[in-house]
Structures are given as structure tokens and as C-alpha cells.
Amino acid sequence: MVETYSKNANHNMRRPVVKEEIIDLMRQRQKPVTGALKELENFAQMNNIPVIPHETVSYFRLLMETLQPERILEIGTAIGFSALLMAQYAPKAKITTIDRNPEMIELAKENFARFDERGQITLLEGDAVDILETLTENYDVVFMDSAKSKYIIFLPEVLKRLTVGGLVLIDDVFQGGDVARDIKEVRRGQRTIYKGLQHLFDATLDNPDLTASLLPLGDGLLMIRKKVANVHLPSEIVD
Ligand SMILES: C[S@@+](CC[C@H](N)C(=O)[O-])C[C@H]1O[C@@H](n2cnc3c(N)ncnc32)[C@H](O)[C@@H]1O
């Protein structure tokens, strides 16, 4: 029994940002996962663990096969589903993944021991706030899938560690559609996340040092390409 995620957690997962019938089509018609990934997907569904939904899985599969990145950083491992997916479709990649939740860390360790056949994945335990500044490698792809209000805080450090031409993928940026509303219409408990995501958009979408695109996959995926070595982020947003 997994205790971290209650039945009422992740309410944005039940607030689709595209039509339900399109989501159904994307989930039913796109090639399902099999083997270990199917087992983990079922486990996540049964225990309400928020792993990437099938439309994002399908996109990542294509992206990894096409890019074949050599180094990937993930913030937010959970049970290791997305890390193992990326490992499968980018078999030469070294993947570093970070999580701070002891229950998720235990499950991820078990899953990596069973299914990381090529030994591609390294799990770093702790808060990404502390771990990011200790990293010394550079990455071709960074996947951020953790606390949404912190994305803007992680971004400067992530961009420092990203190769020029590399991609940052940031999950769950639509907040079930709240990001398109006025802050007064957003539930008070959700406003810190709302502000963090608005700052993230302000810092990236129109930044001349980056090329960014918002994709309506799952609860929204922000893709950012780093165009220059030293990316300028507006100091009033990131400080
Ligand atoms: C949405 S789940 C990740 C799902 C996973 N990427 C997948 O699709 O298989 C988010 C995870 O991020 C972790 N997390 C949230 N904030 C974090 C932080 N500041 N540092 C490290 N891990 C964090 C949580 O413990 C949780 O396991």
C-alpha cells in the first residue's frame, strides 16, 4: 500500500485541458507500453501515483528515439516510470534522476534494480533545491516533473547544466486550466503554484535566448530549447 498519494490527490489530473474524447483517442489509439513499463503504469494507476499519462509517454518515446540524448537529468522520479521509459528509448543515455520522498525512493530503487537492464539510471536522493547546485555534468535533456511552484526556482541552475541546443521539458504547467484565468478566480491554496507558473512563462516564452513551446499533453508540457551559452533570465522574476 502506497501512502504518499491519497485518493483526493492530483485533482488536476481529472481536469482535462483538451476535450475528453481526444484524450481517450490519444490514450487508446497510441501504442500501449508493455512489459516492465506496463507493470509500473498499472501500479501507478492503482496507487494514484502521478506518472506521465499515455499521451506524454507516446510523445517521449518519439522524442527519445529521435534525439538519442547522451545525458538526461530528471527532477521527480516517483516510482521510476518515466526514467525507465526514457532509458528504453534512448538506450545509450545516462540518466540521473532526483527524488526526495522516501517512499518513492524505495519503490524506484526496487524498480531500477529489476528493470534498468543496462544500468543507465542513477538515483540521487534529496531535495532538488540542494542537489542541483552539486551537479557537475552537462545534460542534453532535462525533464522537470516535481513541485510546480519550484520550476522557476530550479530553472537558472538547470539552464546552467544544459548543453547549447539542449531541451528542458517541464510537465504539468497548465494547472488544470487555471493558468489561463485571472488569479482571483483561482482557489487560494493554488495561488503560489499559479504565480510560479506565470513567472516561468514570463521568463521563458518570449526570451530571445530560448525557443519555447507549450504543448497540450497531459496537464501541459513546456518545451524549452537553449540557444546560447549564457541565457539571460529577467532578474525581477528569478531573484
Ligand atoms: C509527478 S511525480 C514524478 C513522476 C515521474 N516523473 C513519472 O512520470 O514516472 C513527482 C515526484 O517529484 C518529487 N518531488 C517533488 N518536489 C521535489 C523536490 N523539490 N526535490 C526532489 N523531488 C521532488 C516527488 O517526491 C514525486 O515523487
Contact criterion met (CB below 8 Å) for 212 and 197: no
Q: Round to whole Å and give the CA distance between 183 and 195.
A: 8
52 lines ligand 1 (CB under 6 A): yes
Domains of the chain (ranges, CATH numbers): 18-226 (3.40.50.150)
Q: What is the pTM of this model?
A: 0.95
- Closest C-alpha to ligand 1, atom 25: 101
Mutate to test the pocket of ligand 1, among 4, 74, 99 (most ligand atoms within 8 A of CB): 99
Of the CA atoms within 13 Å of residue 61, those in its CB half-sphere come to 14
Each residue's pLDDT expressed in tens, for the chain with a length of 239 residues: 788 886 655 555 568 889 999 999 999 999 999 999 999 999 999 999 999 999 999 999 999 999 999 999 999 999 999 999 999 999 999 999 999 999 999 999 999 999 999 999 999 999 999 999 999 999 999 999 999 999 999 999 999 999 999 999 999 999 999 999 999 999 999 999 999 999 999 999 999 999 999 999 999 999 999 999 999 998 767 66
Residue 95 Cβ contacting ligand 1 at under 6 Å: no
